Every structure is written in C-alpha cells, then in structure tokens.
A and B are shown apart, each in its own frame.
Chain A
C-alpha cells in the first residue's frame, strides 16, 4: 500500500521569497505523483504531475516539483511566491492500475506582504 507524508502542515513566507513544500511517499512499486492546489472554499485543482520521463515537472504558474526516487520525495518549489499563491497544497500518490489516489494531509501556504 502507498502512503504520503507532507512534512509541514503550515508554511508562512514573505511575498517574493522562495518556497518549498515537502512531500515524501512510501511504495514498493513504481509510482505516479501529483500536486493539487485548493483555494478557500473551492475544490482541488491539479497543479502538476509526474507519470514518467523527466523527473522535473513544471506548472504554468511557476511551480515545479522534482521526483527523487532514491529519497522517495516529490517536493514542490517556487522561486518567488505571490499573494495569490495563498492556498492549501496536497500531494498524492498512486500506482499503475490502482483504483484510487492516496492524499497527504495538506500544507497550508500563507504569503505575507
């Protein structure tokens, strides 16, 4: 069975500062990894995903995540955050043929001006 650990429940940063949201997973087989973003009182939106190929994946709004198999991690990074990035971020894992995603507990990103 897979599991996901998001190491920080809350991350406060200043606007224009870099940020890293940490995600570690556990699985005995090859995995697919996802980051979702949730703005207040809304559903989750897919931010980016790793299925295969290049271990560095990027989103259209400047976030990137790197799949590190040896460290079983999929940390999310952005070099300079904006107030609009304030949201909760969820990491998720699954395997080929699995029936469902397994989600982490979420990390609340707060941007201070």
Chain B
C-alpha cells in the first residue's frame, strides 16, 4: 500500500541534544512538508521541498534543519538551538498543493 511513514511515533530526548525525525513516502510525490502542531496553535510550517536537493524555509524554520537527498525521504533534525522543541511533528507529501496533501501519523517529541 502506498503511504507516508513517520518514525518513531514517540521520541524522548534530553535537552541540548539534536534529534532526527524520519519521514518516508512511496507515493511518488514530488513535494514534502514538515509541520509542527502545538495545542491551540494549529499547524505551523517548518520546511518544505518541491524537488530533490532543494527546500525552502517555512514560517518557523529557526532551530530546525532538513535534507532532501532522495525523492522518498525528507528527514527533519531538531537542533539544540530550538528553544521549545516538545511538540507533535507532522510530515506530509503531495503532487502539488492543488490536490491537497497526504499526512503521516506524526511523531510526538518530548524533550526533558
């Protein structure tokens, strides 16, 4: 079955450590997106990529980094520079925003 997979589902890290969240899709979608979700704040765009080896900052890119070396993969690194990293992170992919996105099931990151 085609879909988008985020792993792990839950992640715990100590403050000051970098952590990488995985996002893989087998839908042959060109575009991929990372969102952060906090209670009462909806979805906020972190980074997005329209094509391999290219990506753009979203609204809250500070403290995050991404790479897009393969069409299927768009990992997100939460760096120690991110002041409040505890959140629910959602990855999505699409053929173009005209048709909407397919979302992964999310990774809940807790930094202690």
Q: Chain A interface residue count: which class?
A: 20 to 34
Chain B neighbourhood of A106, CB < 8 A: 42-43
Which residue from A9, A42, A44, A94 sits with its C-beta under 8 Å from B40? Answer: A9
Could you tell me which residues of chain A, from 77 to 101, have a CB within 8 Å of some CB in chain B?
Answer: 90, 92, 94, 96-101
**Chain B's nearest CB lies how many Å from the CB of A67?**
15
List B residues 12-59 near A (Cβ within 8 Å).
Answer: 31, 33, 40-43, 45, 48, 50, 56, 58
Check B106 for interface membership: any CB of A closer than 8 A: yes
Interface residues of A in 16-52 (CB under 8 A from B): 32, 34, 36, 41-46, 49, 51
- Number of B residues with CB within 8 Å of any CB on chain A: 26
Is A103 positioned at the interface, with any CB of B under 8 Å from its CB?
yes
User: Which residues of A does B touch, CB under 8 Å?
Assistant: 9, 32, 34, 36, 41-46, 49, 51, 90, 92, 94, 96-101, 103-106
Given contacts A9-B40, A106-B42, contact A101 B103 (CB under 8 A): no
* Given A32-B98, A43-B103, A51-B98; A103-B43 close (CB under 8 Å): yes
